[in-house]
Amino acid sequence: MSNFITRKIEEYRCKKSLRNYFEPGEDFLCEIKKLFLDKIAPEESTKKARHSWFNLPEVLKYSLASFFGLIFLGSGAAVYADKTNVDYSHPLYNFKRVAEAMRVNLAPEEQLPILHNELAQRRLDEVKKIEAADILVTTTTETVINADIKKHQEIITKLRNDMRQEVNTVISEIEEKHVQEISAHKLCDSVSDIIKEDEKRGDGEVKEIHMKNWARLEKNCGDFINASSTNPLKED
Amino acid sequence: MTDRFNNLAHRLKEGERKAGEDIFDYFAPQIFRFFRVMTGSRDTAEDLMLEVFLKTIDKIGTFNEDLGSFSGWIWQIAKNNVKDYYRKKKTVALSDLVLQNKEKSDFLKGKNDPKTALKMAEILDLIKDLSEEEQEIFSLHYLSDLSYRDISKTTGKSESSLRVLVHRVNKKIRKLFNNNE
């Protein structure tokens, strides 16, 4: 038995040594491989020259593909968010704002007041939705976390500032006569409605801004502003 | 089922570098061991192997997969190369013999223990005395660990005749180990 084991070990050792003896050298293999592949290469290089895209290294190809993929996905998400007018709480909200900024940059000059008016209306709707959600929470749960309310207040303030900026832009556009009379009529109505809605939820600090806006609006839209949209501050 | 190497050969015909790389990685070590066994010299084996792969590129256009597998085709180039080598040389030059003996003694003096070294020397002598087809089997079966199926594809011999050949070579090698007991 022990002889058998010894013989097997010896056989194994010999086999291993034989393999080493007959094995090709690494350097030699690399050298021959290079010669062999270089002989194929001329055809390969002309093939590559025909399709310059394939000349790029693999990593660069994947990076470019990923980059364009992300751009495609990002723009798709932005268009979707803008078209569906997602809420502030939606994960794609920031994409919506990016899409809106793009629209403002790309819109022709005569369309700008209408666009700003639409954006002001959107901000107002967003504020309304957040306020409605807050009311729902307070009535159903009673225990409202102060931090959440504070956060919501901050968001609302930010959105209202954005809205006022848009309103201001629309009024400026009307002042500078960049708007046709028919459009100006509709815009004046819409803007006065937005200002009134803002006043309803407003704080005392912005009263001055409203008064200024009303004064500018009356000056430019006095002729065709509808009866229901008259300056409520005047009544005070 | 389509042979993997026939597909690679098809791609090589179209000048695809990656196909050439795959073919080289698979066949180069086997063909080298074969030449090493057949010629007994590392330098000669290296020269012959380079010739085989350069011929492969030159002749790949003539390879017709309907007539046989690529493994058989490339292996035939290798065998023809050895035949040509011996035809040209007829007798082994003295310098080659000196080189072979030097290689052998360098190897045996190396890391092997004396008992294994002695056995190795006996095996190397035995390999020289094997017939051409036995040497072929020795390199493919013992050194390259190819299955009977793959060897059959390469050499064109049936699996059963390969088993007989392996048994014969096995017997000769085992005899060396038994003699010393």
The pLDDT of residue A235: 45
Residues of A in contact with B46 (CB under 8 A): 24, 28, 32
Which of A17, A29, A34 best tests the B interface by mutation, with the highest count of B CBs <10 A?
A17
Looking at the structure, do residues B117 and B155 belong to the same domain, yes or no?
A: yes
How confident is the model over A221-231, as a mean pLDDT? 55
User: Does any domain span residue B60?
Assistant: yes
**How many residues does the structure list for chain A?**
236
Contact A14 B119 (CB under 8 A): yes
Chain position carrying tokens 């350069």: B54
User: Does any domain span residue B104?
Assistant: no
Q: Tell me how far the alpha carbon of residue A83 is from its chain's centroid.
A: 13
Select the residue of B16, B36, B54 nearest A22 (Cβ to Cβ). B36
Select the residue of A10, A20, A22 nearest B119 (Cβ to Cβ). A10
The pLDDT of residue A121: 87
Task: Output the CA torsion B17→B19→B20→B24 (10° steps).
Answer: 140
A15 interfaces chain B, CB cutoff of 8 Å: yes
Select the residue of A11, A36, A44 nearest B53 (Cβ to Cβ). A36
Contact B21 A44 (CB under 8 A): no
Return the axis-axis angle of helices A93-106 and A112-141, rounded to nearest 10°. 160
Contact B124 A21 (CB under 8 A): yes
- pLDDT digit string, tens, across residues A168-203: 888 887 777 767 766 777 778 888 888 888 777 666
Contact B32 A17 (CB under 8 A): no
- Residues 139 through 158 of chain B touching chain A, CB cutoff 8 Å: 139, 142-143
The pLDDT of residue B55: 92
Written as tens digits, the pLDDT of chain B (181 aa) is 457 888 899 888 888 888 999 999 999 998 999 898 888 888 889 999 999 999 999 999 998 888 888 888 998 899 899 888 888 775 555 455 555 556 656 555 555 566 667 777 788 888 888 888 888 888 888 888 888 888 888 788 898 999 998 888 888 877 776 665 4
Beta strands in chain A (DSSP E): none
- Are A184 and A222 spatial neighbours (Cβ–Cβ below 8 Å)? no
A43 interfaces chain B, CB cutoff of 8 Å: yes
Select the residue of B24, B139, B181 nearest A33 (Cβ to Cβ). B24
- The torsion region of residue B15 among left (phi > 0), alpha (psi -120 to 50) and beta comes to left
User: Does any domain span residue B6?
Assistant: yes
The number of domains in chain B is 2
Q: Which of B62, B92, B122 finishes a domain?
A: B92
Write the single-letter amino acid at B137: I
Looking at the structure, do residues B118 and B147 belong to the same domain, yes or no?
A: yes
For B55, name the nearest residue in chain A, comparing CA atoms only: A36
For B29, name the nearest residue in chain A, comparing CA atoms only: A24
How confident is the model over A52-73, as a mean pLDDT? 81
User: Does any domain span residue B97?
Assistant: no
Looking at the structure, do residues B134 and B163 belong to the same domain, yes or no?
A: yes
The pLDDT of residue B32: 92
Residue B74 belongs to domain with CATH number: 1.10.1740.10
The pLDDT of residue A70: 93
Looking at the structure, do residues B127 and B172 belong to the same domain, yes or no?
A: yes
User: Does any domain span residue B117?
Assistant: yes
Nearest Cα residue to A122 out of A174, A77, A84, A80:
A84
The pLDDT of residue A233: 46
Q: Which two tokens stand for residue A135?
A: 């009311």
The pLDDT of residue A152: 80
Looking at the structure, do residues B81 and B16 belong to the same domain, yes or no?
A: yes
- pLDDT digit string, tens, across residues A4-55: 787 777 777 777 777 788 888 888 899 889 888 888 865 445 455 555 555 6
User: Does any domain span residue B101?
Assistant: no
The pLDDT of residue A162: 87
Looking at the structure, do residues B76 and B131 belong to the same domain, yes or no?
A: no
Looking at the structure, do residues B120 and B88 belong to the same domain, yes or no?
A: no
Contact A40 B57 (CB under 8 A): yes
Tell me what ipTM this predicted complex has. Answer: 0.77
Looking at the structure, do residues B1 and B88 belong to the same domain, yes or no?
A: yes
The pLDDT of residue A227: 45
User: Does any domain span residue B99?
Assistant: no
Looking at the structure, do residues B1 and B86 belong to the same domain, yes or no?
A: yes
- pLDDT digit string, tens, across residues A130-148: 877 766 555 555 555 667 7
The pLDDT of residue A68: 93
A18 interfaces chain B, CB cutoff of 8 Å: yes
A11 min Cα distance to partner chain B (Å): 8
**pLDDT at residue A117 tops 70:** yes
Residues 6 or more apart in contact with residue B32 via CB below 8 angstroms: A22, A23, A24, A29, B45, B46, B49
- The average confidence (pLDDT) of chain A is 77
Looking at the structure, do residues B12 and B88 belong to the same domain, yes or no?
A: yes
Instruction: Fill in the DSSP letter of residue A205.
Output: G
A220 pLDDT band, cuts 50/70/90, is: confident
Residue B141 belongs to domain with CATH number: 1.10.10.10
**pLDDT at residue A67 tops 90:** yes
Domain that holds residue B128: 113-181
Q: Which of B60, B92, B124 finishes a domain?
A: B92
The pLDDT of residue B1: 44
Cα-based angle A139, A136, A131 (whole degrees, multiple of 5): 125
Contact A37 B24 (CB under 8 A): yes
User: Does any domain span residue B142?
Assistant: yes
Contact A24 B32 (CB under 8 A): yes
Looking at the structure, do residues B75 and B142 belong to the same domain, yes or no?
A: no
Nearest Cα residue to B78 out of B47, B133, B35:
B35
| Backbone phi and psi for residue A91, each to the nearest 5 degrees, phi listed first | -60, -25
Looking at the structure, do residues B78 and B143 belong to the same domain, yes or no?
A: no
Q: Which two tokens stand for residue B139?
A: 């390199």
A105 pLDDT band, cuts 50/70/90, is: confident
